[in-house]
Amino acid sequence: MDSTPGRESLLRAVGLSRKYKSGDSELVVFAGLDLEAAPGERLALVGESGAGKSTLLHLLGGLERPSEGSIFFKSQDIATMSDARLAEFRNREIGFVWQIHYLLPEFTALENVMMPLLIRGRSRAEAELEARPRLEEVGLKARAWHRAGELSGGEQQRVVLARALVSRPALLLADEPTGNLDWKTGERIMGLVDDLHRAHRLTSVFVTHNLAVARRADRVLKLESGILHPLAASKIGKDYV
């Protein structure tokens, strides 16, 4: 099992398997997979397209259920939670950042950031009080009342980061967070992510094909043929995926 020695895991997957029915046959994405992420760690998941990286991230975030195995967040096995409990857990403990921003176009940047708290049942006034500092933190205080379509791609991803952090999660999960951005904007976003990771004392897991993003991580794991392999920083080259 890949782990950071001497540190208690915040996130731990044990014997994780994901299988799908495909007609009369069964597609095995991976089986018996183990993974650990320590508190405060930045972990990058790399590998070829179709290797199952996004599937693994979805399992770790409770968006899909494993075919077999356990996923422990601290001492809780989220794979055994009811759907309602799992939804509440995601809302409180995990911030998600996707390649596609999934902002609600009819709402302003501020309202999009408020959404996780409104879903939780917080009042609009309480949600706005929490959301404003998060927008300011990502440099969008002046764009709070602009709708998503009025923002640039980089600004939209900043809103996504603010939305991911408004619930004060312990875990940040990101799937190709700079995939739709140009190199310069992507570098700025990842610099901001690094700052937010430290400021909010997050544990972060990234799926990426981007060499620069992978190199920012404390540890890199390559998913290949259903197995996670640790990858030394010196080995991360153009052929790492």
pLDDT in tens, 182-231: 889 989 999 999 999 999 999 999 999 888 889 899 999 999 998 999 98
* Structural domain includes residue 9: no
* Structural domain includes residue 241: no
DSSP helix, strand, coil percent of the chain (3-state; round to 5): 40, 25, 35
Whole-number pLDDT of residue 190 = 92
Work out the mean pLDDT of the chain and round it to a whole number: 90
Q: Which domain holds residue 214?
A: 42-58+88-235
Whole-number pLDDT of residue 3 = 41
* Structural domain includes residue 149: yes
> In which band, very low, low, confident or very high, does the pLDDT at 24 lie, cut at 50, 70 and 90?
confident
* Structural domain includes residue 15: no
Domains contained in the chain, number: 1
* Structural domain includes residue 22: no
Q: Is the pLDDT of residue 5 over 50?
A: no
Q: Is the pLDDT of residue 4 over 70?
A: no
The answer to whether the CB of 203 falls within 8 A of the CB of 38 is yes
* Structural domain includes residue 26: no
Give me the CATH number covering residue 128. 3.40.50.300
Alpha carbon distance 139, 142 (integer Å): 8
Here the tokens at position 51 are 């290797």
* Structural domain includes residue 25: no
* Structural domain includes residue 137: yes
Here the tokens at position 35 are 């993974």
